[in-house]
C-alpha cells in the first residue's frame, strides 16, 4: 500500500496545533489542517505490510489495540496517496459511519498497532482520516441517502451518543423507522456535551445529524425515557428498543470533605460549559467558572485534559492536574508494553501544551493521591491534601503504597474530579426490568446484545462500561444488525 518506499522516504507529520498562547483566547478548533499534498505524503507512508494490524480491533491487557470498527485503513491511505479522495471517502464509510468523530476524538489505537510503529513513527492515520471526511463535506460528497423502501417496523433508540447514532444510522439503512430519544437539548450525547468545543465542535456533530435527519431518522430531544416517555408508551409504540444511554454515573473520591462547595465532577463542569457556550457564548453565566481560581483537576485521562483546556480559557489563576501514576517514559517498554499493544507512554496532549504555555510549566503532578479536602468557614473548598504513592502489581492485582514524608497541601478554589464513571443510571433500567451485571451495566452478551426483556437490546457504554468512541460505534453497528435480524428473521447489515 502507498508508495513502496514511502515509509523510508517520508517522516510522520500529524495535524498540527495552533499556537497554544493564541488558541486559548478562543473556542475554535485548536488544530490547523495540513495541505492536500502533505496529506497525500502521509498516505504514502502506509506500508505493504502483508498483515495489517491497524484495522483489526482487539483488547490486549485491558487496552484496545487496532481499530474496533475494522476501518479499511490501508485502502483509504492508498487512495489518498493516489489522489482519489472521493473513493477514499467511500472506503472510509464502509465500516465507519462517522469518520469525523473518530478522526478528531479517538485516541487512535490503530496507530498504536501500525506495523511501521515497531521501529519508526507510525502512519498518521487519524490525520489522514480527518482530512478525507473534511474534504467529503467540503466537496458536497456527503449527502443524504435514504432507503428506497420502508419495512414499517418502528425502533426506539435511547441515547444519541456515538452508539445510538451508529445504531440508528444502520437500522435506517435497513428501512426501519427509527426514533432517537435524547434527554438533553441537543443531539450527540458525550460527543456534544462531554468534549469541549475547541476539540470537537458541535457544528461537526450537527452537520452529521442533519444528514441523518434528512435520511429519515427522527430525533426527539429534551425527552427522558422512563419519565417524559413511559415504559408502557415505549412498548406500545415500538417493535424494539435499543438502550444506548451511556455510562454516566460518576466515580467519586471517597475522602473527607468531598461534599464541600467547589468540588465538582468533571463532566458537570464540561457539560455546563458547553451548554452555556452554545446557548449564549457564556454570557448567561450558567456554568461552573474557573475564572480567577486555583484549580485542581484529579485524574490524568482525556477528560481531565479537557478540564485543563476549559479552565485556561476561563482565565483560571493556577492549574494543576493530579495523575495517580508515575511519569511514564517517552518510549514504550518492550517487555511490559510490547507492540501491538496501545503504547503506554508520556504524552503532551493539547491541554498540557496550553497550560505549559500559559503557566510556564507542565501542569501535572505525578504519583499523587488525594487524602482529604479542607474547606473554609463557609463550607467552600480551600485546600487539597495529598500524599505521593508508588504503584506496583502482585499477581495481577494493583497495589498502591503511600510514601511517608511526601504529604503536601495545595491551595484550591475549584476541584474537578475526572476519574471516570461507575456505570449507567439505573432508573430506566429498573423500570424496564432489565438485568444488570455486577458492574451495574446492562446484561447483554456482545454479539447478541439482547437483554432478558423481549425486544430490548443494549449497546455502547451502557452495556460494556466506560470505553472509547470507536467501541461505541462498533457496538452501535453490531446491535443494529442483531435488532434487524430479530425483527426480520435475517439481516443484510454488515
Question: What pairing do the DSSP bridges indicate for beta strands 177-181 and 456-458?
Answer: unpaired
Q: Supply 431's cell numbers.
A: 423500570
Torsion of CA 224, 227, 232, 238, to 10 degrees: -10
pTM: 0.96
Span 208-260, pLDDT tens digits: 999 999 999 999 999 999 999 999 999 999 999 999 999 999 999 999 999 99
The DSSP symbol for 215 reads T
Strand stretches in 137-182, DSSP E: 154-158, 177-181
Identify whether the C-beta of residue 98 lies closer than 8 Å to the C-beta of residue 166. yes
User: What is each CA distance from 464 to 119, 163, 194, 458, in whole angstroms?
Assistant: 33, 11, 18, 9
Mean pLDDT lowest among 121-135, 277-291, 331-345, 440-454: 331-345
Among the four given CATH numbers 1.10.1060.10, 3.20.20.70, 3.30.379.10, 1.10.357.10, the one describing domain 6-138: 1.10.1060.10
CATH number of 154-248+422-488: 3.50.50.60
What average pLDDT does the structure give for the chain? 96
Query: Per-residue pLDDT averaged across 171-179, rounded?
Result: 98
Interior CA angle at 26 toward 131 and 382, to 5°? Answer: 120
Architecture of the 252-419 domain: 3-Layer(bba) Sandwich (3.50)
Q: Identify the pLDDT of residue 244.
A: 98
- Judge whether 6-138 and 252-419 match in fold: no
Span 340-391, pLDDT tens digits: 999 999 999 999 999 999 999 999 999 999 999 999 999 999 999 999 999 8
Statement: residue 397 has pLDDT above 90: no
From 416, 376, 424, 423, select the one nearest 253 (Cα to Cα): 416
Q: Identify the pLDDT of residue 64.
A: 95
Span 54-100, pLDDT tens digits: 998 999 988 999 999 999 999 999 999 999 999 999 999 999 999 99
Domain spans in the chain, listed from the N-terminal domain onward:
6-138, 154-248+422-488, 252-419
Mean pLDDT lowest among 42-56, 80-94, 415-429, 441-455: 42-56
Span 5-50, pLDDT tens digits: 889 999 999 999 999 999 999 999 999 999 999 999 999 999 888 8
Q: Identify the pLDDT of residue 1.
A: 55
The DSSP symbol for 225 reads B
From 59, 156, 53, select the one nearest 114 (Cα to Cα): 53
Q: Identify the pLDDT of residue 4.
A: 81
Amino acid at each position: 500500500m502507498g508508495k513502496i518506499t514511502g515509509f523510508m522516504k517520508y517522516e510522520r507529520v500529524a495535524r498540527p496545533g495552533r499556537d497554544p498562547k493564541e488558541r486559548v483566547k478562543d473556542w475554535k478548533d485548536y488544530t490547523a489542517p495540513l495541505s492536500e499534498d502533505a496529506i497525500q505524503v502521509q498516505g504514502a507512508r502506509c506500508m505493504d505490510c502483508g498483515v495489517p494490524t491497524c484495522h483489526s480491533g482487539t483488547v490486549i491487557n485491558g487496552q484496545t489495540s487496532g481499530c474496533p470498527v475494522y476501518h479499511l485503513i490501508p485502502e483509504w491511505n492508498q487512495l489518498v496517496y493516489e489522489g482519489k479522495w472521493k473513493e477514499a471517502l467511500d472506503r472510509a464509510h464502509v465500516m465507519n459511519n462517522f469518520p469525523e468523530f473518530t478522526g478528531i476524538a479517538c485516541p487512535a489505537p490503530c496507530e498504536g498497532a501500525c506495523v511501521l510503529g515497531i521501529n519508526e513513527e507510525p502512519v498518521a492515520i487519524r490525520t489522514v482520516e480527518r482530512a478525507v471526511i473534511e474534504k467529503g463535506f467540503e466537496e458536497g460528497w456527503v449527502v443524504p441517502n435514504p432507503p428506497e423502501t420502508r419495512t414499517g417496523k418502528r425502533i426506539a433508540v435511547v441515547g444519541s451518543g456515538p452508539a445510538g447514532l451508529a445504531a440508528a444510522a444502520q437500522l435506517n439503512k435497513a428501512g426501519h423507522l427509527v426514533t432517537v430519544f435524547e434527554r438533553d437539548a441537543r443531539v450527540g450525547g458525550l460527543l456534544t456535551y462531554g468534549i469541549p468545543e475547541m476539540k470537537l465542535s458541535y457544528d461537526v456533530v450537527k452537520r452529521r445529524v442533519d444528514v441523518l435527519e434528512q435520511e429519515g431518522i427522527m430525533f426527539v430531544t429534551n425527552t427522558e425515557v422512563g419519565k417524559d416517555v413511559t415504559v408502557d408508551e415505549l412498548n406500545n409504540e415500538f417493535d424494539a428498543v435499543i438502550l444506548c444511554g451511556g455510562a454516566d454515573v460518576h466515580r467519586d473520591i471517597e475522602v473527607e470533605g468531598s461534599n464541600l462547595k467547589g468540588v465538582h465532577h468533571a463532566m458537570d463542569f464540561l457539560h455546563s460549559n458547553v451548554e452555556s457556550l452554545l446557548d449564549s457564548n457564556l454570557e448567561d453565566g450558567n456554568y461552573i467558572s474557573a475564572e480567577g481560581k486555583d484549580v485542581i483537576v484529579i485524574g490524568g485521562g482525556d477528560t481531565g485534559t479537557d478540564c485543563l483546556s476549559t479552565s485556561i480559557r476561563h482565565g483560571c489563576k493556577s492549574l494543576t492536574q493530579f495523575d495517580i501514576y508515575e511519569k511514564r517514559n517517552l518510549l514504550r517498554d518492550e517487555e511490559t508494553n510490547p507492540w501491538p499493544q496501545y503504547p503506554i507512554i508520556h504524552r503532551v496532549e493539547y491541554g498540557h501544551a496550553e497550560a505549559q504555555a500559559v503557566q510556564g510549566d507542565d501542569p501535572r503532578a505525578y504519583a499523587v493521591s488525594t487524602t482529604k479536602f479542607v474547606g473554609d468557614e463557609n463550607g467552600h473548598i480551600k485546600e487539597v491534601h495529598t500524599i505521593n504513592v508508588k504503584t506496583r502489581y502482585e499477581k495481577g492485582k494493583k497495589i498502591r503504597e503511600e510514601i511517608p514524608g511526601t504529604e503536601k497541601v495545595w491551595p484550591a478554589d475549584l476541584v474537578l474530579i475526572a476519574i471516570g464513571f461507575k456505570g449507567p443510571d439505573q432508573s430506566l433500567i429498573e423500570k424496564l426490568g432489565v438485568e444488570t451485571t455486577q458492574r451495574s451495566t446492562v446484561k447483554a452478551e456482545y454479539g447478541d446484545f439482547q437483554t432478558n426483556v423481549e425486544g430490548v437490546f443494549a449497546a455502547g457504554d451502557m452495556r460494556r462500561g466506560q470505553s472509547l468512541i470507536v467501541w461505541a460505534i462498533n457496538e452501535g453497528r453490531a446491535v443494529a444488525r442483531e435488532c434487524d435480524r430479530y425483527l426480520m428473521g435475517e439481516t443484510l447489515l454488515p
